[in-house]
């Protein structure tokens, strides 16, 4: 069975001082939660402080992005080895990076390969716009994103990574995909595509999160679905009630 994995994507929120204070307030409750893998993905500048605040626990730390080159003249970028010094995970291809910063499927693919080579677990995000959803293009579009992101990886590598299906229209809007719809799209466009490309042993292993307005009140229904193995949580991971969200998930 795939173990649930719930990660908080803090996006561009919380200074390092805010982050350490927040972790110290909820750490005891987090540590008491069993049978869920938990991680926080702070901004780069807060990553070392959060990693230190969580030392000695099984709670992971992830970055929200990285560059694929190992080092060199890339002003403003952070390399895989720099991320791996503090993190176990790295979010790649979040729709905000694709939408605001021009990230492409090809770039996500290069980053996925570099992250795996550095020993990181990529959390690769895919998801359609409202227009694509309403035009009935979701399955085709998301399948394409999955195939492009995983191009050239081995089945062994794919089995280790995490996918996150985040419909763009559900992010930060309070509007969640229904558990049935999310499960159906994850089952066909994400797990189904992986099965077609890498076989069922790999597709049964890979963990697939849902993201988009996950809250303490809707997490249980989503997590109960066959193909949903966790959540990538934005706004609700910035509040102490994230503990409640985690407690409600199983």
> Between 23 and 232, whose beta carbon lies closer to ligand 13P?
232
Reference 125, options 136, 113, 116, 112; nearest CA is: 112
Here's the x/- map for ligand 13P, 118-157, by CB under 6 A: it reads as: ----------------------------------------
240 contacts: CB under 8 Å, gap ≥ 6: 22, 25, 26
- In angstroms, give the least distance from the CB of 196 to ligand 13P: 26
Which residue among 233, 243, 245, 249 contacts ligand 13P (CB under 6 A)? 233
- Would the CA dihedral through 112, 114, 116, 122 be positive or negative? negative
> Between 31 and 36, whose beta carbon lies closer to ligand 13P?
36
The Cβ of residue 193 has, within 10 Å, a number of other Cβ atoms equal to 22
With contacts defined by CB under 6 A, name the span among 55-63, 109-117, 181-189, 227-235 that binds ligand 13P: 227-235
94 catalytic, yes or no?
yes
DSSP per-residue letters across 29-92: HHHT--SEEEEEE--GGGHHHHHHHTTTSS-EEEES---SSSSSS-TT---HHHHHTT-SEEEE
Q: List binders of ligand 13P among 184-223 (CB under 6 A).
A: 211-214
Instruction: Tell me which of 134, 166, 180, 244 is the catalytic residue.
Output: 166
Q: Are 81 and 69 in contact (CB under 8 A)?
A: no
- Using rule CB under 6 A, residue 92 touches ligand 13P: no
- Using rule CB under 6 A, residue 9 touches ligand 13P: yes
> Where on the chain is the footprint of ligand 13P (CB under 6 A)?
9, 94, 166, 171-172, 211-214, 232-236
Question: Which residues are known catalytic residues?
Answer: 94, 166
């Amino acid at each position: 069975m795939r173990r649930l994995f719930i990660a908080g994507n803090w996006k561009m929120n919380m200074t390092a001082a805010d982050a350490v204070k927040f972790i110290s307030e909820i750490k005891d409750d987090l540590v008491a939660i069993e049978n869920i893998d938990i991680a926080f993905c702070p901004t780069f500048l807060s990553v070392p402080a959060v990693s230190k605040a969580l030392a000695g626990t099984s709670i992971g730390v992830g970055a929200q992005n990285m560059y694929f080159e190992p080092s060199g003249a890339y002003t403003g970028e952070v390399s895989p080895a720099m991320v791996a010094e503090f993190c176990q995970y790295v979010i790649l291809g979040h729709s905000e990076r694709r939408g605001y910063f021009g990230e492409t499927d090809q770039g996500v693919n290069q980053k996925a390969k570099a992250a795996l080579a550095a020993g990181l677990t990529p959390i690769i995000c895919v998801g359609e716009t409202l227009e694509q959803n309403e035009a009935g293009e979701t399955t085709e579009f998301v399948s394409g994103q999955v195939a492009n992101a995983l191009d050239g990886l081995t089945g062994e590598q794919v089995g280790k990574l995490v996918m996150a299906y985040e419909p763009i229209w559900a992010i930060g809007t309070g509007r969640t995909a229904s558990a049935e719809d999310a499960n159906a799209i994850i089952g066909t466009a994400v797990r189904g595509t992986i099965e077609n490309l890498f076989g069922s042993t790999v597709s049964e292993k890979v963990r697939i999160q849902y993201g988009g307005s996950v809250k303490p009140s809707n997490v249980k229904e989503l997590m109960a679905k066959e193909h949903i193995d966790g959540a990538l949580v934005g706004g609700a991971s910035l509040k102490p009630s994230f503990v409640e969200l985690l407690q409600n998930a199983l």
